[in-house]
Amino acid sequence: MKIAVVGIGVAGAYIMNKLSQDGDNTVKGFERMPESKHDAVCAWATCENVMADLVKECGLDFSMYVLHKGKNMKVELMDDSIDIKLRGMVAYDKLQLIKDMVRGTDIEFGKVPRKENLESDFDLIVDSTGFHRNYLPKVSNETWIPCVQYKVKYDRNRNPYDDFYLKAFSSMSGYFWYFPLGNGYAHIGAGDFGRKYTIGFLDDFLNTHECEIIHKVGRPVRISPPSLCEPFSDGRKTIGVGESIGTVYALLGEGIVPSTWCAQLFVEHLNDLKQYRNAVLRKFDIYSLVHKFIKMKISGRFSMLRNSRDLLRIYTHMKMNEKRYGMKIEMKNMLKISKL
């Protein structure tokens, strides 16, 4: 089969790596950014416990990319704060890992291919364009959070924090993050559903803590779950993988692990795309409930009395998967966060 993979983020890179190794298919990648400007717009935080195995499947060693290992994440709430013990959450060099995953594969950079051309040249087209979802039918009523992020560098010993730090905005509409990248570097950014806090909070932070700005990026993150991002296919040759079909855990804005898992499901079910759809809906089933919870919080419709069962289900899911999330999950923290 001739396969086009459009969009070389975590999902596209995983697919390029895996399918370029099998002798059955011919795979060609397309990435809109020129190779010299190829970026991985993201705060680069993930869970080492999960990524280590996924990256090993691609013949690489995840520990080589780790920039900072988290021990404790302080989360400021509106008038309170909590400390979350970290057990595997790290910041890593996401861009370098993507580059190494696709090394030796056939990719045309600086290219946004036209759908008609892809359809005439390939048997299958993978839309792994993330938020853009350029090659799939539009989804109505989506939820996404606009984000702005800076990569910054602090002079020796002038880092405002030495570990992961978050400041949650009211009604769980988003948060400000400070993620250390080692050697004085950090990603600082903010995402807010209503755009109320993003710029003001970031500007204040930059003014208070003197640093060198390396670069600034802006991109929304889709938090609609896969169940609300259907269709995954255009009914012809195109199929979505990764954030293009909503594989982001809305409570954390975390898309690296889920989008790589989604790519793994695609590779497993390459010859049966109906099975792929079902596998994605099953794997990310809980994401629908988490998305509903966040939407209710943002719109002010969440009631502890009426919705406590939903909260308990989310807590139980995360508690049972502490290793996957890379952090200790405690009910008292969950309750404080849900009161935002």
Ligand X SMILES: Cc1cc2nc3c(=O)[nH]c(=O)nc-3n(C[C@H](O)[C@H](O)[C@H](O)COP(=O)(O)OP(=O)(O)OC[C@H]3O[C@@H](n4cnc5c(N)ncnc54)[C@H](O)[C@@H]3O)c2cc1C
Residues that bind ligand X (CB under 6 A): 6-12, 30-33, 41-46, 112, 128-132, 134, 147, 149, 189, 219, 221, 242-244, 248, 253-256, 259
Alpha-helix runs per DSSP H in the chain? 10-21, 48-57, 94-101, 115-121, 198-208, 256-268, 273-283, 285-299, 304-320, 322-325, 331-338
**Residue 64 φ then ψ, to 5°:** -70, -15
Residue 31 CB, nearest distance to ligand X (Å)?
A: 5
**Residue 81 φ then ψ, to 5°:** -150, 155
Residue 56 CB, nearest distance to ligand X (Å)?
A: 18
Alpha-carbon gap, residue 163 to 172, rounded angstroms: 22
Residue 250 CB, nearest distance to ligand X (Å)?
A: 11
Which is nearer to ligand X, 202 or 311 (by Cβ)?
202
The closest of 131, 142, 139 to 233, measured between CA atoms, is 139
Alpha-carbon gap, residue 245 to 238, rounded angstroms: 12
Residue 79 CB, nearest distance to ligand X (Å)?
A: 26
Alpha-carbon gap, residue 219 to 232, rounded angstroms: 22
Angle at alpha carbon of residue 41, lines to 39 and 43, rounded to 5°: 125
**Residue environment code for 303-340, b if the CB has 16+ CB neighbours within 10 A, otherwise e:** eeeebeebbeebbebbeeebeebbbebbeebbebbbeb
Which is nearer to ligand X, 262 or 302 (by Cβ)?
262
Pairing label, strands 2-6, 124-127: parallel
Which is nearer to ligand X, 71 or 339 (by Cβ)?
71
Residue 234 CB, nearest distance to ligand X (Å)?
A: 14
Amino acid identity of residue 126, one-letter, is V
Residue 154 CB, nearest distance to ligand X (Å)?
A: 19
Residue 189 CB, nearest distance to ligand X (Å)?
A: 5
Which is nearer to ligand X, 155 or 182 (by Cβ)?
182
Q: Please name every residue paired with 4 in a beta bridge, in sequence order, or none if there are none.
A: 28, 125
Alpha-carbon gap, residue 154 to 152, rounded angstroms: 7
Which is nearer to ligand X, 43 or 251 (by Cβ)?
43
Which is nearer to ligand X, 174 or 334 (by Cβ)?
174
Amino acid identity of residue 16, one-letter, is M
Which is nearer to ligand X, 177 or 302 (by Cβ)?
177
Which is nearer to ligand X, 147 or 270 (by Cβ)?
147
Residue 156 CB, nearest distance to ligand X (Å)?
A: 25
